[in-house]
Amino acid sequence: MKLQPVYMIEELEQLKTVSDPLRYKVLLYLIEKAYTGQQLAKLLGMARAKVHYHLNELEKHGFITVIRTELKNGIVQKFYRAVARGFVPSEALLPYVSEVENYYRVA
């Protein structure tokens, strides 16, 4: 799967979702390669249920997607991957960004 270079965050709910420190960390792992929830739980040293909750939130808001599934011991494992290499809030969400950038550029 080829990742988009940049994913534009258009909604406030998406921004809230990705601003959670744990979700951000999970997203960084998933930019690098595909992982299952169980693999991520091991990497992060956390309960699988907690990691799956955050994976569901990231998937619901379009930051990650299931790229493949495998059947292992009668259990379907989902491999998640980020949809892009970078995530940027749209100007509609941060209307004063350009003014702030210009202020610091002048300073």
Q: What is the pLDDT of residue 21?
A: 94
What is the 3-state secondary structure of the chain?
CCCEEEEEECCHHHHHHHCCHHHHHHHHHHHHCCECHHHHHHHHCCCHHHHHHHHHHHHHCCCEEEEEEEEECCEEEEEEEECEEEEEECCCCCCCHHHHHHHHHHC
Among the ranges given (10-14, 53-57, 97-101), the one the predictor scored with the smallest mean pLDDT: 97-101
Phi, psi of 105 (to 5 degrees): -65, -40
**Residue range 30-71, pLDDT digits in tens:** 999 999 999 999 999 999 999 999 999 999 999 999 999 999
Confidence of residue 107 (pLDDT cuts 50, 70, 90): very low
Distances (CA, A) of 65 to 25, 58, 83, 96: 16, 9, 7, 31
pTM of the model: 0.84
In this predicted model, what pLDDT tens digit does every residue of 73-86 receive, in sequence order? Answer: 898 999 999 999 99
CB atoms within 10 A of CB 55: 23
| pLDDT at position 90 | 86
Return the residue matching tokens 């956390």. Answer: 46
